[in-house]
Amino acid sequence: MRVLCTCGKKAIIGKTDRLSLAHANLYCSCSDPECGHTFVANVSFSHTLSPSAKTSSQLVKQLVNAMSPENRKQLQQELRLF
Ligand SMILES: [Zn+2]
């Protein structure tokens, strides 16, 4: 994936902060030393063109694995209500 600086030159992605399975912040810096711009770009899921071939249980397992331990514990407690 290529990110461009507001000056039009290629930017270098230094760090990726994944906020969820569908959102990430990219910490970028311009490759032009005369510019020196550093900025954050957002990448997010937009829409499906072809559905995933994975089963719903595989998708749920991946979502649970991506949750924080606190959120996972809360989900376990909520599921006990059923
Ligand atoms: Zn620049």
d(C-alpha 71, C-alpha 77), whole Å: 10
- Could you count the other beta carbons within 10 Å of the beta carbon of residue 28? 20
Distance 55 CA to ligand 1 centre (A): 43
d(C-alpha 55, C-alpha 64), whole Å: 15
Distance 43 CA to ligand 1 centre (A): 19
Helix (H, G, I), strand (E, B) or coil at 75: helix
Distance 53 CA to ligand 1 centre (A): 40
Tens-digit pLDDT profile for the chain (82 aa)?
899 999 999 999 999 999 998 999 999 999 999 999 999 999 999 999 998 888 888 888 888 989 999 999 999 899 898 7
Name 40's bridge partners.
27
Distance 2 CA to ligand 1 centre (A): 14
